[in-house]
Amino acid sequence: MICGCQLSREFLVAIKKIQKQFVISRHTTPDGVHWDLMLDMDTVLWTWRLNSPPAEIKNEPITAKRIGDHSRRFLTYEGPVQNNTGQVKIADKGIYSLYEQVDNSLLIDVQGEILKGQFIFFETECTLWKVTAL
């Protein structure tokens, strides 16, 4: 049950057929390292900045900062980032299914090389979100 609604098995199976790509890039900057988690939303990548590596999302909830949408080219891009803001390298990639999007929350199923399983994204304030493995 998510957001007060029980999701039927049939609904989840039907939605799972609509799979899209995701990627997590390790972004090394002069100020340090962070990870950009990007979900393909057809024309753009919805993007969150993570201060923890992808493997840590499975262990405990983490805070993610919603940042500007990224170009779909970042699904496969590795190398220097414009304006000398560092280098990116793909840390994880795969497919995801969006099970539910209600107000300021998302329920997704992720099948990546590192991340696997269901995760809920919940906006806690303005651009800050909590990402939790279910």
What pLDDT does 3 receive?
Answer: 44
State how far the Cα of 92 lies from the Cα of 100, in Å rounded to an integer.
23
pTM: 0.84
Residue 58 has pLDDT above 90, yes or no: no
Residue 4 has pLDDT above 80, yes or no: no
- For residues 53 and 62, the answer to whether their CB atoms sit within 8 Å is no
What's the whole-number average pLDDT of the chain? Answer: 87
Both tokens of 129, joined, read 């979100």
Residue 2 has pLDDT above 90, yes or no: no
- What are 31-56's pLDDT values in tens digits? 999 999 999 998 999 999 999 998 88
| CB contact burial 5-38 (16+ within 10 A = b; e otherwise) | eeeeeeeeeebeeeeebbbbbbbeeeeeebbbbb
Mean pLDDT of 73-97: 94
